[in-house]
Amino acid sequence: MTSKLDIDDLQIGQKIEDAHVLSIYLQISAADSTTPLRSFDAAFKGTVESLEHGFEEDVELREFKSCLSRVRKFLAKCEPRAKTLILFCRTTGSLWVRQIDVALSNDLRWDDIAFVRPLAEALDEYERFAVLLTGAAKSRLFSAAMGVIHEHSAVRRKAGEEDAPYLRRAIEAGEALMRAENPARLILAGVPALSSKLLQLAGPALQSKVKGVLNLPVESTLQQILDAAGAVESNAARNADLKDVNELLDLAAEGKEVAVGIDAAVQALNDGRLWQLVYAEGFVKRGGRCPVCDGLSADELQLCKACNVAVRPVEDLVDVMVARALAAGGSIEEVHGPAARRLNKAGGVGAFLRY
């Protein structure tokens, strides 16, 4: 699940009057000699030319070229350190940049809100998790997110120390890591017998976070740990997806305050009631946006219910819904596998509501 807090510094989804945003997702590599600027030109030359020829007003064309110039200047000096470079350049002057170790598709958008859906979905798919790797002589602690793993301080066994006090110190270190990093899940690894004892000694709060146990050598490399734990984390995430979808549909069947289907979800978002947007992987829906009140419509041919004026077409309504849900302090969750298949049978999208 991704919330506004995950990308809070972006002020994403917030429409600023008479302002636009140039959103760019660019695949990069530190391994070859291609500069980000050359990659940008190779990926988006045709897109940029098409946009420049499509503006009806000279002022918007100038704004676009101004943002493009600032982006190009940045790219000329940028040093690739990851797989994808993300930029949001506003006509008001701000430039937001992040490099992530997740390969996202190249994309360039020009709109009045930032195109945050790929970033939000990556944050949702690669949620932060922790690993507590316990061996006979020491315990190692890790946190991982967005394809990157970091090692934290180790807990070393004292000479002659029994299992219980040693493992309790490892638990204390694990609890401190959970408070500091706030991961969605914890995976135990190392010697199976010690992991089992550790789990028995741990308190309910830590136990509830444990979603898998791995048999791994304590001296495993970071990449080995990431690969093994990542597979467990992915399975745990799919289980969490299905649990959330089942809860959503069960509450709907009981007549509780949830939204199921695109019409109900859009109405909840327009009313400010949407707390968590849930949608199936690959779900796409055209819709509309009112030019007067900026409300969304699930039907691009429909008149705005509030203003009684024709809405303007929106190519993918979910793109806008994701940005607005996050900007309003809500969260989003893209579900996969069995959860996506079940949700698709109910319309592909739903929402938990604030009230």
Query: H-type helices in 53-201, by residue range?
Result: 58-77, 117-125, 163-181, 192-201
Q: What is the pLDDT of residue 2?
A: 57
Q: Round to whole Å and give the CA distance between 138 and 156.
A: 4
Kindly report, residue by residue over 81-93, the tens digit of the pLDDT.
999 999 999 999 8
Q: 351 — phi, psi (to 5°)?
A: -160, 140
Q: What is the pLDDT of residue 4?
A: 47
Assess whether pLDDT exceeds 70 at residue 133: yes
Q: What is the pLDDT of residue 19?
A: 82
In contact, 10 and 88? CB cutoff 8 Å: yes
Class of domain 241-353: alpha beta
Q: How confident is the model at residue 17 (pLDDT cuts 50, 70, 90)?
A: low
Q: What is the pLDDT of residue 1?
A: 66
Q: At what angle do helices 317-327 and 262-270 cross, to 10 degrees?
A: 40
Q: Round to whole Å and give the CA distance between 298 and 317.
A: 8
User: Is 17-111 in CATH node 3.65.10.10?
Assistant: no
Copy the structure tokens of residue 17: 């009057």
Copy the structure tokens of residue 149: 């793993």
Q: What is the pLDDT of residue 56?
A: 87
Q: How confident is the model at residue 292 (pLDDT cuts 50, 70, 90)?
A: very high
Q: Round to whole Å and give the CA distance between 323 and 152.
A: 34
For the residues 217-234, what does the mean pLDDT come to? 95
Q: What is the pLDDT of residue 3?
A: 56
Q: Round to whole Å and give the CA distance between 156 and 249.
A: 48
3-state secondary structure of 9: helix
Query: H-type helices in 141-278, by residue range?
Result: 163-181, 192-201, 204-209, 222-253, 262-270
Identify the residue with better confidence: 112 or 347.
347
In the block, tokens 């109405």 appear at: 267
- CB count, 10 Å around CB of 242? 18
Assess whether pLDDT exceeds 50 at residue 230: yes
Q: How confident is the model at residue 31 (pLDDT cuts 50, 70, 90)?
A: confident
- The fold of 127-239 is Nucleotidyltransferase; domain 5 (3.30.420)
Domain definitions of the chain by residue range: 17-111, 127-239, 241-353
Sheet containing 2-3, strands listed edge to edge, beginning at the edge strand earlier in sequence: 2-3, 331-335, 274-280, 349-353, 258-260
Kindly report, residue by residue over 139-180, the tens digit of the pLDDT.
999 999 998 999 998 999 999 999 999 999 999 999 999 999
What are the C-alpha distances in Å from 25 to residues 14, 88, 314, 346?
A: 19, 9, 20, 32
Q: What is the pLDDT of residue 301?
A: 87
pTM of the predicted model as reported, rounded to 2 decimal places: 0.86
Assess whether pLDDT exceeds 80 at residue 111: yes
